[in-house]
Amino acid sequence: MINLETPKKFNAFVQQAHDVANEFLRANSRKYDLAEHSYPKELDLLASLIDGMNESGTGSGAGAAGVRVDEDKKGKSGVKNGSNMSSVLSVIEMCWGDVGLLLSMPRQGLGNSAIASVATDEQLERFKGTWASMAITEPSFGSDSAAIKTTATKDGDHYVLNGEKIFVTAGDRSDSVVVWATLDKELGRAAVKSFVVPKSLPGIRVERLEHKLGIRASDTAVIVLDNCRVPAENLLGSPEIDTAKGFAGAMATFDNTRPLVAGMAVGCARASLDTMRELIEQAGFVIDYDRPAAVQPHVVATFLQMEADWEAALLLTLEAAWMADNRQANSLQASMAKAKAGRSGNQITLKCVELAGSIGYSENEFLEKWARDSKILDIFEGTQQIQQLIIARRLLGLNSSQLK
Q: Under DSSP, is residue 99 helix (H, G, I), strand (E, B) or coil?
A: helix
Binding flags for other proteins, 189-208, as an x/- string (CB under 8 A): --------------------
Taking the complex as a whole, how short is the minimal distance between the CB of residue 386 and other proteins, in angstroms? 11
Instruction: Name the residue nearer to other proteins (CB basis): 339 or 355.
Output: 339
Instruction: Name the residue nearer to other proteins (CB basis): 62 or 321.
Output: 321
**Overall size of the chain counted in residues:** 404
Taking the complex as a whole, how short is the minimal distance between the CB of residue 2 and other proteins, in angstroms? 5
Q: Are strands 132-135 and 176-182 parallel, antiparallel or unpaired?
A: parallel
381 labelled catalytic: yes
Binding flags for other proteins, 320-349, as an x/- string (CB under 8 A): --x----------x--x--xx---------
DSSP 385: H
Q: Provide the residue type at 1 as one letter.
A: M
- Other C-beta atoms closer than 10 Å to the C-beta of 1 total 4
Name the one range near other proteins by CB under 8 A: 42-50, 183-191, 257-265, 286-294.
286-294
Q: Which residues contact 6 (CB under 8 A, 6 or more apart)?
A: 14, 89
Tell which one of 318, 334, 367, 377 touches other proteins (CB under 8 A).
318
Name the one range near other proteins by CB under 8 A: 79-87, 109-117, 238-246, 269-277.
79-87
Report d(CA 290, CA 301) in Å as an integer: 12
124 to 163, contacts with other proteins by CB under 8 A?
none
Q: Please name which of 251, 262, 201 lies closest in space to residue 393, comparing C-alpha atoms.
A: 251
Q: Which residues of 209-224 are buried (b: 16+ CB within 10 A; e: fewer)?
A: ebebebbbbbbbbbbb
Name the one range near other proteins by CB under 8 A: 52-60, 75-83, 153-161, 275-283.
75-83
Q: Please name which of 72, 40, 73, 47 lies closest in space to residue 62, comparing C-alpha atoms.
A: 47
Report d(CA 114, CA 86) in Å as an integer: 17
Instruction: Name the residue nearer to other proteins (CB basis): 91 or 336.
Output: 336
Considering the rule CB under 8 A, would residue 269 count as an interface residue with other proteins?
A: no
Q: Please name which of 161, 158, 354 lies closest in space to residue 272, comparing C-alpha atoms.
A: 354
Taking the complex as a whole, how short is the minimal distance between the CB of residue 35 and other proteins, in angstroms? 38
- Other C-beta atoms closer than 10 Å to the C-beta of 32 total 23
Instruction: Name the residue nearer to other proteins (CB basis): 76 or 211.
Output: 76
Taking the complex as a whole, how short is the minimal distance between the CB of residue 14 and other proteins, in angstroms? 12
Considering the rule CB under 8 A, would residue 7 count as an interface residue with other proteins?
A: yes
Binding flags for other proteins, 342-381, as an x/- string (CB under 8 A): ----------------------------------------
Report d(CA 342, CA 233) in Å as an integer: 36
Cβ(299)–Cβ(273) under 8 Å? no
Q: Which stretches of the chain bind other proteins, using CB under 8 A?
A: 1-9, 75-77, 79, 81, 85, 289-295, 304-305, 307-309, 311-313, 315-316, 318-319, 322, 333, 336, 339-340, 385, 387-389, 391-393, 395-398, 402-404
